[in-house]
Chain A
Amino acid sequence: MPVHLQGPWSFLFGRLTLHAIPYDNVIILFAFTLAAVAGIAIVLPVLYFKKIPYLWREWITTVDHKKIGVMYIIVGLVMMFRGFFDGLMIRTQQVLADGPHSPHFLDASHGYIPPYHFDQIYSSHGTIMILFAVTPILTGLTNVIVPLQVGARDMAFPYMNALSLWLTAMGAALVMVSLFVGDFSDAGWSGLIPLTELPFSPGVGVDYWVWSIQISSIGTTLNAVNMIATIVMMRAPGMTWFRLPVFTWTTLSTNIIGLTAFPVLGVALAMLSCDRYIGTHFFTAGLGGNLMLYTNLFWIWGHPEVYFLVLPAFGIFSEIIPAFSHRPLFGYTTMVAATFAIAGIAWLVWLHHFFTMGAGPGVNTFFSVATMLVGVPTGVKVFNWVFTMYRGRLTFETPMLWCLGGLFMLLAGGLTGMMLAMPAIDYTVHNSVFVVAHFHCMVLLIAYAIFGAVIFWFPKVFGMQLDERSGKLFFWTFSTGSILVFVAMFALGFMGETRRLDYLYDPHMLPLLIIQEIGIGFYGLSVLIFAWMLFVSLRNRNTSLESDPWGTSRTLEWLTRTPVPFYNFAVTPQINARDELDWRRRSGLDLSHPDRFAPIHMPGNTMIPILIGICSFGLGFGMIWRIWWMAGGGLLAIIALVIFRSFQHTPGYMLQPGEIAAMERRTAASGIIAEQPSRPPLMEAGAH
């Protein structure tokens, strides 16, 4: 069953040859230099200050949900930066390659990037932004917040949590490696079939795409298991279902989607791999394959996936808007119902991504109406937020600004989404940049929610607030960028600009393209301001914060000390109301912290997850380059590690009341994150 490969193959290195390293490509060389400088800038201080043991002990081997969440978010932000850079390159190419008389540089016939390279850029942009930027950041946020919101010590399965993180990180690492060793897929983030089949994509690009997604989505699925189990089993006493904060509800629904949708993607990609590796005929046009099967399977995952992303963003809105309206959320029950309605309908609409495939009027109408139905619960949510502000006392701190900006994005994206949902309209704008503009409104709404959430919860985790002034500047430059790029993009859609073009045939588009280029300039500025914001905040930090630094927060996570100690709550809180903190504050209750402590059982650190992560990287890299010994070795090592871990007795350790009291006092005084005490673990029997 060996498949025919273009190019050489050797036992030791598989398809890998020196040619795979594009040392002769100016752009990649530049990117490589950038990455190398950034890498050195990070590694050198770490070495110099001898921080490796600290990193190893406190971060890399940790099972603390907050630290894992923070690492998720860092991975996501770094990938988002990469995604932004891709966006910059896309926009610059298009503005330079408009019309037959456009200039050309470097290797290209128009613009500065030849087609195969351009196609990789937007493919990696889409893949990265959706799966390696926004997904990890949201997973990280839910990791940090949800256990605190339900009053748990940690996630249900802390070790598995670390494993999820490292699998996701290794997927991201594979994408980054593809920049310097070989190529990435050039067939779009959705893996257009049969373009991804071996005859049309003979290189390793598609394999990079497949394996990085496969590995990271196993991490996402495990995280979904973990999150659902945490919400179901780990709630504090008194935290009944209808006292759960809405963010927790959206996390629950999102992870139900994740748990059920990602396996379908896994199957689709596995079948594609079979086609590419052993010559099966799942998705080939000939010999009994069915390429529409892939398209269906992909979107059966792909559509729920976009709601997988947007629901936590809705949850974030539902936390931040009440906090800065100084009012409870309007219509809690309808909000929860709408959340699950969205998640439910998400399963019934996938065909709207290919109305143009030639299905009959009946089928198209069914999926069209089903799609429009999503507008109903989404609308309910919008109205609930609007009525939350009614008779409120709004203050416009940065988190609130991001949420309000996000609401406008939602309205614009929703209006255009509903247009696409009508097949007669979709026949004119499918695969045009109108679609691209629609979904950027939506994904930007998520980005807005993310920035709001990071700024909102930052003090809780790090014990210091981010600078408001530069934060607002960040908001306004970013929003200017969004408006300039994407309003112009809608207009280009009406001109009939197809998406994924490295050369534009119509010189009339130039004015709009220039507007977009100015917009991307604002985006670039906003990234600099973001970095400046971090710097200023760190320089002027004030670490003696109350447990609720905003003074208006409402939910449980704000009850414990700031920054949150690694054991979360010194004593598990008893829940009395939906917005527990608000209830305590307004009942005139003592908001101070408990002074009587019982021993706490904590899980110990472990290095197994990071080791499994590294082996999965080896497995992926080996499969991509068809270095069979490396792939096989990686797989065996993973199995061995899992078995080894099941033989380990890892009962964790006990914190004694005296220690807790001391640490509580120290956190309150210094505002510094407490480090875990190093301590010999317990025997298993003692833990239970």
Chain B
Amino acid sequence: MAPVKCSHVKEHLSKWLTWPLVGLALIPLGGCGEEFRLFYPKGPVAAAQLKYTMIDVGIMLLIILPTTLMLCLFIWRYGKARKAAYDPDWAHSMTIELLIWGGPIAIVALLAVFTYESVIETNPYDPTVLRAPAGTQVPAQAPLEIDVITTDWQWFFIYPKQHIATIDDLVVPQGRVVRLRMTSTSVTNDFFIPQLAPMIDVMPGMQTRDAFSSDGPGTFTGFSADFSGAGFSWMQFSTRVMSGDGFSSWVAGVQAGQAQPNRGALSYAVFQKLAHPTLNIGAKPGYFASVDTGVFNRAVTDALNGLTYPVPADLTEKMAPDSGPSNQRRSSENGKGS
């Protein structure tokens, strides 16, 4: 992760709202770095989100800041010791009361406008920021489709057109729009790549969608953002953005079984074995040189038909310390990971 210069940040900030949030970011450390992921968007959707964060905070500070100052001022000014003017009766003023209702209403009205705009722009199902700006005639590449399945507690990324799949490793070409279709075999998770893709729930028996594209190559952390049980803390995946050529050769490599560890072919039966609860300590990736079609759809229908992958009691609570095969997993969890 190359350190980023301050000027990079500024590109994404609307000018008149820059300082408040930069200030906010500076407070905690007196410095900043790319680990403040939300301030370093690496794709149009995340950038739009940062922009609206700035706008939102800026508008609200218009009223919150004066209020805070007024509060501080009055506390200081009207302390008994200061012997300022004292009025023991005044308790009502039509003007002030109209103002204190009117001011916030105006602010909320303004915010509402931006809310609507931002919801359209960053709607994970169809972010309009990913569309080519009107007028430009860029021959848009067809989006890259990826199917995402979460299990307890791993990520499966299936590339239906490329007929490959990975565990906990999402590789995409730079600049190209990526469209995701997501479902879960067990409980609800939440797909999130802070610097690239907005958050969206991943639910069993249902399909949700997400979309993003990236500005340039790099490696970005992605993870589940909705608690899903004992292995949740290890549900990270790396998102590797490659150049178009790099991506193609990576795909070819996986297809040829060169990506290690190569787990062979992903049939639905294999998938079902892997879908049993596994604490993937260290978030170790895996690769499949080929994939049967329909794994995603069968995962959805099976969940709808009531298929679950129950979690053994000793992985969640200590009800029955010696209940069968899951003991092994428990002990692997006790060993120090990575």
A touches B (Cβ under 8 A): yes
How far apart sit A204 and B334, CA to CA, in the bound complex (Å)?
23
The stretch that binds B, out of A230-238, A379-387, A445-453, A524-532, is A379-387
When the two chains form their complex, are residues A432 and B337 in contact, meaning their CB atoms are under 8 A apart?
no
Across the interface, do B323 and A194 meet the contact criterion of CB distance under 8 Å?
A: no
**A201 sits at the interface (CB 8 A):** yes
Q: Taking the complex as formed, is B80 at the interface, i.e. its CB lies under 8 A from any CB of chain A?
A: yes
Q: Across the interface, do B233 and A100 meet the contact criterion of CB distance under 8 Å? A: no
Interface of B is mostly: mixed
B101 and A327 contacting across the interface, CB-CB below 8 Å:
no
Bound CA span A392–B83, Å: 10
For B198, what are the chain A residues with a Cβ–Cβ distance below 8 Å?
356, 424, 427-428
Tell me which residues across on chain A come within 8 A of B236, comparing CB atoms.
505
> Please, which residues of chain A bring their CB within 8 A of the CB of B56?
418-419, 422, 425
Contact segment of B172-180, B250-258, B263-271, B307-315: B307-315
Within 8 A of A (CB), among B175-205: 186-188, 190, 192, 194, 198-201, 203-205
B119 touching A368, Cβ below 8 Å: yes
Comparing B92-100, B160-168, B289-297, the segment that makes contact with chain A is B92-100
The answer to whether B227 touches A499, judged by C-beta atoms less than 8 angstroms apart, is yes
Residue A681 CB within 8 A of the other chain: no
Q: A202 is contacted by which of B24, B311, B333 (Cβ under 8 Å)?
A: B311
Once bound together, how far apart are the Cα atoms of A131 and B203, in whole Å?
28
CB-CB < 8 A to A7: which residues of B?
Answer: 313, 319-320, 323
Does the CB pair B204–A19 fall under 8 Å? no
**Which of the segments A112-120, A161-169, A536-544, A670-678 contacts the partner chain?**
A112-120
Chain B 24-52 interface residues, beta-carbon cutoff 8 Å to A: 24-25, 27-29, 33, 35-39, 46, 48-49, 52
* Interface flag for A179 (CB, 8 Å): no
Q: A187-B227, A372-B108, A495-B37 are in contact. Are A354 and B74 (CB under 8 A)?
A: no
**Closest chain B CB from A368 CB (angstroms):** 5
Give every chain A residue within 8 A of B282 (Cβ-Cβ): 100
With a cutoff of 8 Å between Cβ atoms, the chain A residues found around residue B228 in the complex are: 192, 195
Contact B305 A334 (CB under 8 A): no
Give the CA-CA distance A380 to B323 in the complex, in Å. 59
Say whether A418 contacts B74, CB under 8 Å.
Answer: no
- Taking CB atoms, residues of chain A closer than 8 Å to B338 are 100
Confirm or deny: B125 has a beta carbon within 8 angstroms of a beta carbon on chain A: yes
Q: Say yes or no: is A330 at the interface (Cβ < 8 Å to chain B).
A: yes
User: Which listed residue, A193, A287, A415, A493, touches B188 by the CB 8 Å rule?
Assistant: A193
> Do B232 and A500 touch (CB < 8 A)?
yes
Residues on B with C-beta less than 8 A from A373 are 108
Q: Are A391 and B78 in contact (CB under 8 A)?
A: yes
| A419 and B57 contacting across the interface, CB-CB below 8 Å | yes
In the complex, how many angstroms separate the beta carbon of A433 from the nearest chain B beta carbon? Answer: 11
The answer to whether A334 and B97 touch (CB under 8 A), given A205-B316, A326-B88, A372-B115, is: yes
Contact A6–B187 (Cβ < 8 Å):
no
Q: Which residues of the other chain, B, contact A19 by a CB distance below 8 angstroms?
A: 318-321
In the complex, the chain B residue whose C-beta lies closest to that of A498 is: B225
Whether A199 touches B308, Cβ cut-off 8 Å, given contacts A380-B100, A494-B25, is yes
Instruction: Determine whether the beta carbon of A390 is less than 8 Å from that of B313.
Output: no
8 Å CB interface, A69-122 against B: 100, 104, 107-110, 114-116, 119-120
CA–CA, A386 and B64, complex, Å: 13
Q: Kindly list chain A residues whose C-beta atoms are within 8 Å of the C-beta of B232.
A: 115, 500-501
A-chain residues with CB within 8 Å of residue B16 when the two chains form the complex = none
Q: Tell me which of A286, A393, A396 contacts B304 (CB under 8 A).
A: A286
Measured CA separation A187–B232 after assembly (Å)? 11
Name the A residues within 8 Å of B230 (CB-CB): 115-116, 119, 186
Task: Say if the beta carbon of B262 comes within 8 Å of chain A.
Answer: no
Is B37's CB under 8 angstroms from A427's CB? no
Q: How large is the interface on B (under 10, 10 to 19, 20 to 34, 35 or more residues)?
A: 35 or more
Query: Would you call B19 an interface residue if the criterion is a C-beta within 8 Å of the partner chain's C-beta atoms?
Result: no
Report Cα–Cα, A523/B187, bound state, in Å.
36
Once A389-B75, A432-B225, A506-B35 are accepted as A-B contacts, the answer to whether A109 and B333 lie under 8 Å apart by CB is yes
Max chain B Cβ within 10 angstroms of own Cβ: one of A188, A285, A495, A496: A285
Stretch of B7-15, B65-73, B132-140 lying at the A interface:
B65-73
The smallest C-beta distance from A102 to any residue of chain B, in angstroms, reads: 10
Query: Inside 8 A of B46's CB, which chain A residues have their CB?
Result: 428
A411 and B201 contact, Cβ closer than 8 Å, known pairs A7-B313, A109-B336, A200-B316: no
From known contacts A357-B201, A500-B227, infer whether A390 and B78 are also in contact, taking CB-CB under 8 Å.
yes
Q: Is B245 among interface residues, defined by CB-CB distance under 8 A?
A: no
Q: Is B123 an interface residue (CB 8 A)?
A: yes
**A656 on interface, CB distance cutoff 8 Å:** no
Stretch at the interface among A470-478, A507-515, A660-668: A507-515
| Known contacts A202-B310, A365-B119, A411-B67; A330/B92 CB under 8 A | yes
Contact yes or no, B204 A194, CB < 8 A: yes
Q: Is B325 an interface residue (CB 8 A)?
A: no
Find residues 196-219 in chain B having any chain A CB closer than 8 Å to their own CB. 198-201, 203-206, 208-209
- Measured CB to CB, the closest approach of chain A to B213, in angstroms, equals 16
Interface size class of A (residues with CB under 8 A): 35 or more
Which residues of chain A have C-beta atoms less than 8 A from B333's C-beta? Answer: 109, 114-115
Q: Which residues of A contact B313 (CB under 8 A)?
A: 6-7, 202-203
Partner of B317, one of A205, A498, A499: A205
- Report the nearest A residue to B87, measured CB to CB: A391
Given the complex of chains A and B, what is the CA–CA distance between A120 and B318 in angstroms? 12
The reply to whether A372 and B112 contact each other, CB–CB distance below 8 Å, is yes
Residue-wise interface mask of B (267-297) relative to A, using a CB-CB cutoff of 8 A (1 in contact, 0 not): 0000000000001011100000000000000
Q: Which residues of A contact B123 (CB under 8 A)?
A: 360-361
The smallest beta-carbon distance between A53 and chain B, in angstroms, is 42
B18 at the interface (CB under 8 A from A): no
With an 8 A cutoff between CB atoms, is B221 at the interface?
A: yes
B84 at the interface (CB under 8 A from A): yes
Q: Which of A7, A8, A15, A408 has the most CB of B within 10 A?
A: A7
The answer on a CB contact under 8 Å between B199 and A427 is yes
Interface residue A259 (Cβ < 8 Å from any Cβ of B): no
**For residue A291, which residues in chain B have a CB less than 8 angstroms away from its CB?**
188, 203-204
Are A183 and B104 touching (Cβ within 8 A)? no
In the assembled complex, the Cα of A19 lies from the Cα of B306 at a distance in Å of: 31
| B122, CB-defined interface residue at 8 Å | yes
Q: Is B23 an interface residue (CB 8 A)?
A: no
Asked whether A202 lies within 8 Å of B319 as measured between CB atoms, the reply is yes
A348 to B: closest C-beta gap in Å: 14
Given the known inter-chain contacts A116-B315, A386-B71, A430-B190, please indicate yes or no for A376 contacting B119, CB distance below 8 A.
Answer: no
Per-position 1/0 for A167-194, Cβ under 8 A of B: 0000000000000001100111000111
Chain A residues contacting B80 (CB-CB under 8 Å) are 393-395
Tell me whether B247 is interfacial, beta carbon within 8 Å: no
Task: Using A192-B188, A287-B306 as known contacts, list a sample of 10 further A-B pairs with CB atoms less than 8 Å apart, ordered by residue number in A.
Answer: A114-B334, A186-B317, A203-B319, A384-B100, A386-B71, A414-B64, A425-B56, A428-B53, A491-B27, A494-B25
- A: residues with CB less than 8 A from B are 6-8, 15, 19-20, 22, 100, 104, 107-110, 114-116, 119-120, 182-183, 186-188, 192-195, 199-205, 281, 284-287, 291-292, 325-332, 334, 354, 356-358, 360-361, 364-365, 368-369, 372-373, 375-376, 379-380, 382-384, 386-387, 389-396, 404, 407-408, 411, 414-415, 418-419, 421-432, 487-488, 490-491, 493-496, 498-506, 508-509, 511-512, 515
Q: Which residues of B contact A (CB under 8 A)?
A: 24-25, 27-29, 33, 35-39, 46, 48-49, 52-53, 56-57, 60-61, 63-64, 67-68, 70-71, 74-75, 78-80, 84-93, 96-97, 100-101, 103-105, 107-108, 111-112, 114-116, 118-125, 152, 186-188, 190, 192, 194, 198-201, 203-206, 208-209, 221, 223-234, 236, 279, 281-283, 303-313, 315-321, 323, 333-338
Return 17 A-B CB contacts under 8 Å, by A number.
A7-B323, A20-B319, A100-B338, A115-B230, A186-B229, A200-B310, A202-B319, A285-B203, A291-B204, A393-B78, A415-B60, A424-B115, A425-B52, A427-B198, A428-B198, A496-B192, A498-B192
Top-9 shortest CB links A-B: A203-B317, A491-B28, A286-B306, A427-B198, A424-B118, A285-B204, A508-B35, A496-B194, A199-B310
